[in-house]
Amino acid sequence: ESEKYYSQLDKHLNLSAKKKETQLQEADELLDKERRNFYESSVEYVYQIQQVQDRKKFDVVEPVLAFLHSILTLNNLTVETTQDFMPYKQELQLSLQNTRNHFESTREEIEELMKRMKNPTQIGKMHSQPVIEGYLYSQEKWALGVSWVKYYCKYHQDRKLFVMVPAEPKPATKQGPTELKLKSCFRRKTESIDKRFCFDIETYERNTPVTLQAVSEANRKLWMEAMYGKEPIYHSPIHKQAEMELNEVGFKFVRKCINFVETKGKVTRKFQYTPCVFSLYKCPGDVDFHSSDWDIKTITSAMKFYLRCVPIFLNYPAESDNLDVRLGAIHCLTYKLPEKNQEMLSLLIQHLVNVCGNSGDNLMTPSNMGVIFGPTLMRAEEETVAAMLDIKFQNIVVEILIEDYTKVNLKD
């Protein structure tokens, strides 16, 4: 089963990320089925070994005890000898009974654990463990090209130590473990590499990033969470790089929009954030909204258009029904954002909190704001059907950011 699963895994990881999404989904489902079979076989194997080891404790001793008892009773030994043996016999019988009872209770616990492990939702989950380990593939460049080498890796979170041990060492060479001190970790953009599930780590020992491939998307998330990895920054192809950056000009423009909306909104009964496109000036930070009769819908649309064009917050559906779990996940995500992104997000959410405070007049509730700003702030890497289905979770995240602004604590 091991050979079958890892052979299938190697083929799966060699699939090009450029293939159609339907083909990749079908391959993922096939591998997931093979993985479950492998896990079930592995757990069953360990269970059988445990059964054998535990049963030896009494399956061997009980016949010996019965044999000694027959010698004492059938061969007219002296009363003194029999009496001398009785305390040992009673103690051994009691010990055997306790061992058998413990075996039965342990077997029930293991069977329950097996059921939980066979559940796909339980596979591969970690809970803030100080060490994460498993197989990773490392991209290694040679004079004649690039190859991917399989390593068994271990990351010690407290020391930021990343250890790589060759999974298939060459017989002619002595390859010991490679130890690297982690600087940072970033998810690799899909369009930048042909492989799937990749991320880069920067280390003190190497001048260039180390590109690693995880065995699945869920596995990549585990490694990145352990390394406090960050998401890559995405830029719109229709804008120049300088226009896409979160710089002081952008902050100045957004602050002006917010000031105008919050000031004008006090005398305007209703206003909306509409999705129309606004043509920005060459220096949007220098726009004077009070110099002419600007319509509030135009201003709100301009700010929304600007936020749509800059990278602030990437897609992360908060699918848990537990509010505390959602808050923790969202706080963790905002903490991973670059400093300027955090600052812009905090500025915007504080504004939305103020707007929602007047929802009785402007009808802008946190739920409505989530619908408006969810797709803007939490854009999927690629426009796929799955990304479209995640829109409701994007809305929920923005709604939570507004309703629990102080708990999420964006400023920290």
CATH code of 269's domain: 1.10.555.10
Q: What is the pLDDT of residue 220?
A: 92
Query: What average pLDDT does the segment 169-183 reach?
Result: 83
Number of independent structural domains in the chain: 3
* Sign of the dihedral through C-alpha 359, 360, 362, 363: positive
Q: What is the pLDDT of residue 156?
A: 94
Q: What is the pLDDT of residue 152?
A: 94
Domain that holds residue 385: 248-409
Residues 222 and 254 in one domain: no
Read off the pTM: 0.49
Domain contains 253 = yes
Domain contains 138 = yes
pLDDT over threshold 70, residue 363: yes
Residues 79 and 182 in one domain: no
pLDDT tens column, 208-251: 999 999 999 889 999 999 998 887 765 444 444 444 567 788 88
Domain contains 111 = no
Residues 158 and 69 in one domain: no
251-254 contacts at long range (C-beta below 8 A, 24 or more positions apart)? 251/285, 251/343, 251/344, 251/347, 252/284, 252/285, 253/280, 253/284, 253/285, 253/287, 253/303, 253/306, 254/303, 254/306, 254/307, 254/344, 254/347, 254/348
Give, to the nearest 10 degrees, the angle between helix 79-118 and helix 61-74: 160
**In this structure, are residues 151 and 136 in contact, taking their beta carbons and an 8 Å threshold?**
yes
Domain contains 208 = yes
Non-local CB neighbours of 273 within 8 Å, separated by 6+ positions: 300, 301, 304, 364, 369, 372, 373
Domain contains 237 = no
Domain contains 233 = no
pLDDT tens column, 270-286: 444 433 334 444 455 55
pLDDT tens column, 31-45: 888 888 888 888 888
- Domain end residue (candidates: 198, 227, 256): 227
Domain contains 155 = yes
- Domain end residue (candidates: 160, 194, 227): 227
Residue 142: strand pairing partners = 145
247-250 contacts at long range (C-beta below 8 A, 24 or more positions apart)? 248/285, 249/283, 249/284, 249/285, 250/284, 250/285, 250/306, 250/310, 250/344
Residues 390 and 340 in one domain: yes
Non-local CB neighbours of 300 within 8 Å, separated by 6+ positions: 257, 261, 271, 272, 273, 274
